[in-house]
């Protein structure tokens, strides 16, 4: 009997958490075809670039990656190259024309067809391009396992205490700068019972925390007449063994009082919300078609902090949107000062195909955009430093994810003597802490997946450093109700 040839797939993931989730699904589907994951394009039989089109820089990364892969294919003609995600959806024809070695272009709403196309390519058929936007609900197709929701998901990509779960796709908001409605399609929600079953399966596989994903989770279920998003949070919180729930992304205009109140009554809901503001100027927000104003946004923050004191708020900001004046930019800096965001993601505005703002006049110069971005990031760095320094001396419940970058894998003798672990607080703050080799300290491997108290000793630019409390028992640790108890 001839031994079956081992096949390997490498998936390069660019962009948002939803792309990370889609990569897991593609890995899982390909596992059923006999493909095992690899991190090396030199060892791969199939390479998929899972792409993002939200910024021009992200798109350039895609083109560079495909160029390198096609050069490799000249030496290895049997290598299969595929591109998926938003750039594939947006520029299918251009990609096929530009990259002669490209075998498959797969759109955002047809991921479930990947196995059929890979089989076809293995049989010498191709190249193939499919960027159809099917009329039916995308969740009626598999790829999100709607026909087998009770089966353990992510066989090939399993592992990790914190996992993503997509609850909806697409967007109906049509912000002036954004391509999501054009490359991800209209808003479509997934049945709540399927979501709960996937969360239950992930928890059975070792997950302690899930992050619910959608372009605008606040409008979950409205079009289909499903339960509200706060009700979905309640259903997910009922999964035994699940410790924490997070979600992204929320649109401020749809942040309901019911969702605010969920932070008051759902204990598993983490004390963190990512609420993209984009600008602190009402005139810019209006041109962006965001459908809320500066005061609306600040009132929502006040409500959140009234029901969940200490909640961390993070945001997105675009600088240099067409027509943004120096005064508009100063209003954004003032908003940062008023709200006191934990951290933010900031970007220079760039014209994107299909987005309405591409046609807007009064473009801000490249030099001004760079200068404003630099000033914004420096301003926020000062706020973050102030918040983090105020946490020194406090004790945080940290969900341990594994070794930090400086941990045991670093290979030097010091790290072996003091392995450094990493995890996140309920506020989504990264916390790194060292362990002494001592009978009073737990074995590092036993801490992964546990929620443990860490005393914060030092504030870093984007993380916190700490240690276990000196009086913690030396016995085994286990998580119970978000606290640590001796077994």
pLDDT at 332: 98
Which CATH entry fits the domain spanning 7-133: 2.60.40.420, 3.40.50.360, 3.40.50.620, 3.40.50.12160?
3.40.50.12160
Count of CB atoms within 10 A of residue 126's CB?
A: 16
pLDDT at 387: 98
SS3 annotation, 20-81: HHHHHHHHHHHHCCCEEECCCCCCCCEEEEEECCCCHHHHHHHHHHHHHHHHHHHHCCCCEE
Adjacent-strand bridge partners of 11: 48
Residues 6+ apart with CB under 8 A from 405: 422
| Below-70 pLDDT ranges, the chain | 1-5, 135-159, 407-417, 436-442, 471-487
| Phi-psi sector, 480: left (phi>0), alpha (psi -120 to 50), beta | beta
CATH of domain 136-270: 3.30.750.210
Delimit the domains of the chain by residue range: 7-133, 136-270, 295-389, 395-486
136-270 has the same fold as 7-133: no
In this structure, which topology does domain 395-486 adopt according to CATH?
A: OB fold (Dihydrolipoamide Acetyltransferase, E2P) (2.40.50)
SS3 annotation, 168-198: EECCCCCCCCCCHHHHCCCCEECCHHHHHHH
364: which DSSP letter?
P
Helix, strand and coil content of the chain, in percent to the nearest 5, comes to: 35, 20, 40
Q: What are the C-alpha distances in Å from 473 to residues 316, 353, 441, 469, 482?
A: 42, 59, 8, 9, 17
CA distance 133 to 81: 22
pLDDT at 201: 94
pLDDT at 382: 97
What's the pTM? 0.85
Please tell us whether the domain made up of 295-389 is placed in CATH 3.30.750.200.
yes
Token readout for 39 is 């991190």
pLDDT at 409: 47
- How would DSSP label each residue in 373-411? HHHHHHHHHHHHHHHHHTTTT-EEEEEEEEE-TTSGGG-
Sheet with 312-319: list strands edge to edge. Answer: 272-274, 312-319, 344-348
pLDDT at 266: 97
């Amino acid at each position: 009997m001839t031994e079956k040839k081992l096949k390997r797939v490498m998936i390069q993931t660019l962009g948002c958490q939803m792309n990370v989730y889609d990569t897991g699904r593609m890995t899982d589907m390909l596992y059923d075809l006999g493909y095992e994951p690899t991190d090396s394009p030199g060892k791969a039989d199939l390479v998929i670039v899972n792409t993002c089109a939200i910024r021009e820089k992200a798109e350039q990364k895609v083109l560079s990656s495909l160029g390198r892969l096609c050069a490799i294919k000249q030496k290895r003609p049997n290598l299969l190259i595929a591109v998926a995600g938003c750039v594939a959806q947006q520029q299918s024809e251009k990609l096929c024309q530009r990259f002669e070695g490209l075998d498959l272009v797969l759109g955002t709403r047809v991921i479930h067809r990947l196995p059929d196309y890979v089989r076809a390519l293995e049989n010498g058929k191709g190249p193939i391009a499919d960027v159809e936007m099917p009329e039916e609900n995308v969740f009626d197709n598999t790829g999100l396992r709607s026909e087998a929701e009770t089966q353990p998901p992510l066989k090939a990509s399993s592992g990790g205490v914190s996992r993503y779960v997509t609850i909806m796709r697409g967007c109906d908001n049509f912000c002036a700068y954004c391509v999501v409605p054009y490359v991800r399609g209209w808003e479509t929600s997934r049945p709540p019972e399927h979501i709960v079953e996937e969360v239950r399966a992930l928890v059975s596989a070792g997950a302690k925390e899930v992050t619910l994903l959608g372009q605008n989770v606040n409008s979950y279920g409205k079009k289909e007449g499903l339960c509200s998003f706060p009700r979905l949070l309640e259903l997910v919180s009922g999964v035994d063994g699940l410790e924490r729930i997070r979600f992204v992304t929320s649109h401020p205009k749809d942040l309901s009082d019911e969702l605010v109140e969920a932070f008051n009554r759902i204990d598993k809901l983490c004390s963190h919300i990512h609420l993209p503001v984009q600008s602190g100027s009402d005139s810019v927000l209006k041109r962006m078609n965001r459908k809320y104003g500066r005061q609306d946004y600040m009132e929502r923050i006040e409500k959140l902090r009234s029901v969940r004191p200490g909640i961390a708020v993070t945001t997105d900001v675009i600088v240099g949107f067409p027509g943004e004046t120096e005064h508009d930019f100063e209003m954004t800096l003032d908003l940062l000062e008023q709200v006191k965001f934990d951290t933010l993601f900031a970007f220079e505005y760039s014209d994107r195909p299909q987005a309405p703002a591409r046609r807007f006049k009064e473009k801000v110069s490249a030099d001004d955009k760079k200068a404003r971005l630099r000033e914004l990031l420096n301003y926020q760095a000062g706020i973050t430093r102030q918040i983090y320094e105020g946490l020194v001396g406090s004790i945080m419940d940290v969900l341990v994810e594994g070794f930090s970058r400086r941990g045991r894998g670093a290979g030097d003798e010091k790290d072996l003597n003091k392995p450094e672990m990493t995890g996140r607080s309920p506020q989504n703050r990264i916390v790194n802490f060292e362990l002494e080799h001592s009978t009073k300290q737990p074995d590092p491997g036993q801490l992964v997946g546990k929620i443990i108290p860490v005393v914060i000793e030092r504030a870093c630019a984007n993380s916190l450093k700490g240690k276990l409390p000196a009086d913690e028992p030396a016995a085994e640790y286990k998580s119970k109700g978000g606290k640590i108890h001796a077994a």
